Amino acid sequence: MWVRSLLLCGVSFSFLLSVAAGTCKDADMHHEIISEGRPFAFNCSYPPVTNGAVNLTWHRTPNQSPVSNNRQLRNHQDQTWILFLPLEEGDSGIYQCVIRDAHSCYRVAVNLTVVRKHWCDSSTEGPRNLSLSDEYQQTLPMGKSGSLACHLYFPDSCVLDLIKWYKGCEELKAGKQYAFSGTKLLVNNVAAEDGGSYACTARLTHLGREFTVRNYIAVSIKEVVSGRRIPNIMYPKNNSIEVQLGSTLIVDCNITDTKENTNLRCWRINETLVDDYYNDSKRIREGIETNVSLKDHIFYTVNITFLEVKMEDYGLPFMCHAGVSTAYIMLKQPAPDFRAHLIGGLVVSLLLLVSLLFVYNSFKIDIKLWYRSTFYAAQAPDDEKMYDAYVLYPKCPRESQHHSVDTMALKILPEVLEKQCGYKLFIFGRDEFPGQAVANVIDENIKLCRRLIVLVVPESSSFGFLTHMSEEQIAVYNALIQDGMKVILIELEKVKDYSSMPESIQYIRQKHGAIQWYGDFTETSQCAKTKFWKKVRYQMPPRRYPPAPAVQLLRHTPCDHTSGKWDAVTGLITP
């Protein structure tokens, strides 16, 4: 029984121990040597855990007595801080802060040693020695400017102000050598004499009570090593390089390093040496390192060679390493020359437009004729007109002229336009009923026509246009021009001088031009597919009737049939 209770007791004791100690991990141990009589604060922080919501408590070992939260007490916990206002000699010892959250528990310990220091009081033996027990050690760079920091870390409940600096026992004044900036002392043009014991003091106000914080700082002077300690990669500078696909590229890595450093310098891709990464193809190789010794450092160059740039190289960082320093280059495809493309595109569009216009101009007649033959086939225009064109031509007394104009009007025009193309013409001198008054004929019939074909002969080779065309005809023709009827002007010979022609003819000629007749008047074959007739047909309205049998427009029109069967119908035009 006794043994059993002892056993039980032992088991529960060890269990309790394991709960108390075993579940908490020791995270950190800090050592603080602080002089007595000044305020001291320590913030418990263990970054992996203290970021979230945690329970944090301060204890003093060895008996784990908790530190009170009562802010009026000299020693208390203020949120994550432990505060001593001020430190007393008996405060030396180990303090633990226990950080507990839902899953874990950590212990951060502070080994606090309180020391007695003598500061420039007349009561003490004299100036202090620079001792290792000074709380802070700082350095100033020889020959340059440097700064010292007054470490004033206290919780927000403490207000700090009136920061003063001392060297030995003498207060420092701002001036040529010293300047103050917040909690910092700036020292200009540091000399050997600037080393030694410094102190900074500050007024601390907590819940209306005032304290003086005094930090002792042991300052040593250091020779600065000229140049940078770590290798400096001068090139590349994490830049990109435009390079054409398939070209060869060599890039230098230029590095400066101190003489003492024995760093490895190399090119890597994806953390692998390029020589290993492209072991098989040897397409990308690292060059042999070269060096130039300068005054106080060495300049190294190691290049990388791309025998042939491939698509997969673009966008990858090729890293130059020199010890801890790295810098990369990235290959980029050259941007297409925007301006060249734009200009090229414009030129091409312009050429295309010009050639389209050219093609249209050259073939517009054929296009229109083809269009008509395809879509207008034998479709009568729905107007009241009976004829497609009224043919107006001068009467020529002279035999030669007479012959050519009449042949044209009475034979060739009907042969092509009526027989081959299926138009219906009204030709004065052929279609009027005998005995009809001229004025009536013109008046009645011209209104039934869709076009007016005017045959013109040069003034010089005749006796004048006006004299050879009846007055009535001219009058009607003038009226029609005013009505807006379309006029087709056919020059039977080249007319050099239009000035003696009626103004309306001059106007038509100027506005719409004339069609020049090139052939002769020998009554031989005429084909609707020649250039001249295409031009005429182009001006004519769409075909009204199907062409005469055996004559196929725009298909294989037989152009070899002669007009020999035509009777000469001459001399029908009477004045």
Ligand X SMILES: *[C@@H]1O[C@H](CO)[C@@H](O)[C@H](O)[C@H]1NC(C)=O
Footprint of ligand X (CB under 6 A): 43-45, 50, 53-55, 80, 94, 111, 113, 129, 131, 235, 237-238, 250, 252, 254, 270, 276, 279, 287-288, 291, 298, 301, 303, 316, 326-328
Report the residue number whose CB is nearest to ligand X.
Answer: 287
CB of 327 to ligand X, least distance (A): 5
Measured in whole angstroms, how far is the alpha carbon of residue 542 from the centre of its chain?
A: 56
Closer by beta carbon to ligand X, 23 or else 238: 238
Smallest distance, ligand X to C-beta of residue 57, A = 8
Quick one: which H or E segment has residue 369? helix 338-375
What minimum distance in Å lies between the beta carbon of 231 and ligand X? 12
Q: Which is nearer to ligand X, 199 or 487 (CB)?
A: 199
Cβ atoms of 316 and 330 within 8 Å: the answer is: yes
Nearer to ligand X, 11 or 250 (CB): 250
Question: What's the min distance (Å) between Cβ of 92 and ligand X?
Answer: 8
271 as an active site residue: the answer is no
Tell me how far, at minimum, the Cβ of 8 lies from ligand X, in Å: 28
Report how far residue 107's alpha carbon sits from residue 26's, in angstroms, rounded to the nearest whole number.
5
- The DSSP bridge pattern shows strands 65-66 and 75-78 to be unpaired
Nearer to ligand X among residue 54 and residue 409 (C-beta): 54
Least distance to ligand X, CB of residue 165, Å: 22
Instruction: Compare residues 41 and 528 and give the one whose CB is closer to ligand X.
Output: 41
Read off the tokens for 571: 């001399």
Angle, helices 438-446/471-483, rounded to nearest 10 degrees: 20
- Dump the DSSP string for 377-438: TTPPPSSS--EEEEEE-----SHHHHHHHHHIIIIIHIIIIIIIT---EEETTTSSPTT--H
Which one is catalytic: 432, 471, 503, 523?
Answer: 471
Beta bridge partners of 217: 136, 198
Spatial separation of the C-alpha atoms in residues 171 and 197, rounded to whole Å = 12
The two tokens of residue 277 are: 């990464």
Burial of 267 from C-beta contacts in 10 A (0-12 / 13-18 / 19+): buried
DSSP code, position 376: S
Shorter beta-carbon distance to ligand X: residue 326 or 373: 326
Catalytic (active-site) positions: 471
